[in-house]
Structure formats: C-alpha cells, structure tokens
C-alpha cells in the first residue's frame, strides 16, 4: 500500500528522476536516508520500473510522429507472436498497444520524414503475413507531452 509520502515521492521522481536524496528530503521533509529507503522499496516492489531521459525527437532528426492502426487478417497465436516480434525489432515503433474496437494494434512511430513513414508502412507492416490493412495518422502538433502518472 502506498502512503501519502510514497505518492509524493513518486510524483517528485516522475517530475525529475535525477533528484538527489538530499533534494527530495528537503521537498518531502524526511531525512535523506528515509528517502533512499523508500525509493529502494518502491523500486523493489515494482512501482518504479526504471529511469530514463526524455530526448527531443526533432533534435534527433525525427520530424514525423504518427500513430498507425493495424488490422490483422488472422488472429492466431503464431501470427500475433510473429507480429509482436517484428514490432519489438523496429526502433521507429516506440510504443505498441493491443486494442479493443476496430483496430487490433495501435503503434506510435517516429520517423525522419514522410518517406521513412511510407517505407515503414509499405515495406515492413503491410507485407507482414498477419496484417490485413493499416491506417495512419500523422501528428500535426502535440498539445501535451507525455506526462507523469497521477499519484493522488
């Protein structure tokens, strides 16, 4: 069970995972050793799954962000597993979800340009034996960046 201090610690770490135990102790009014113990417990219990840096896609030369809905032709475990392995191997596919509704999968992709997105769709996704069709949407502007999970 999470107490209010655990939730505040998770919120602070989601905002800046680079915060030191000293900075967090000032913020949460606990000793640095208490902060360290709580952080370790939250890591061990799986509340904190890891730490990463947010990298600017545009500065990395990835000017096209899109979402691709994938509709499978068949839904057997072999085709689904094969498709999942292919998705896992493609660096331009940064997130993938199985979905309810019309599409079977929703993929978030980052590509250098429209030609690269076209290549991904026509040379990688559509030729896969499990795929019946795809539908893509290109992000024009992102109004809200991926944010922290609500902790309260």
Phi, psi for residue 23 in degrees, rounded to 5: -65, -45
Question: What mean pLDDT do residues 17-39 have?
Answer: 96
Q: Are residues 39 and 80 both part of a single domain?
A: no
pLDDT, mean over the chain: 96
Q: Kindly indicate the confidence band of residue 21, based on its pLDDT and cuts at 50, 70 and 90.
A: very high
CATH of the domain at 25: 1.10.10
Do 36 and 97 reside in the same domain of the chain? Answer: no
Same domain, 36 and 68: no
CA dist., res. 58 & res. 17, Å (int): 23
- The confidence score (pLDDT) of residue 74 equals 84
Residues 76 and 111 in one domain: yes
Look up the domain containing 28 and give its range: 4-44
Question: What pLDDT, on the 0 to 100 scale, is given for residue 135?
Answer: 98
pLDDT band at 152 (very low <50, low <70, confident <90, very high): confident
Same domain? For 38 and 69 the reply is: no
Q: Report if residue 15 sits inside a domain.
A: yes
What are the tens digits of pLDDT across the range 34-82? Answer: 999 999 999 999 999 999 999 999 999 999 999 999 999 988 899 899 9
Return the structure tokens found at 4. Answer: 């209010």
Q: Is residue 104 part of a domain?
A: yes
How many domains does one find in the chain?
2
Task: For residues 125 and 133, give the distance between their C-alpha atoms in angstroms, rounded to a whole number.
Answer: 9
């Amino acid at each position: 069970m999470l107490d209010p201090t655990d939730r505040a610690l998770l919120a602070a770490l989601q905002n800046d995972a680079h915060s030191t135990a000293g900075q967090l102790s000032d913020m949460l009014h606990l000793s640095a050793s208490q902060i360290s113990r709580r952080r370790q417990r939250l890591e061990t219990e799986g509340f904190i799954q890891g730490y990463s840096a947010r990298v600017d896609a545009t500065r990395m030369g990835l000017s096209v962000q899109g979402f691709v809905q994938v509709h499978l032709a068949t839904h057997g475990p072999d085709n689904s597993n094969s498709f999942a392995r292919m998705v896992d191997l493609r660096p331009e596919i940064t997130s993938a979800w199985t979905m309810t509704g019309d599409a079977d999968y929703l993929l978030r992709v980052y590509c250098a340009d429209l030609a690269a997105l076209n290549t991904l769709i026509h040379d990688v996704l559509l030729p896969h034996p499990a795929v019946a069709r795809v539908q893509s949407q290109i992000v024009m502007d992102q109004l809200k960046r991926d944010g922290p999970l609500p902790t309260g």
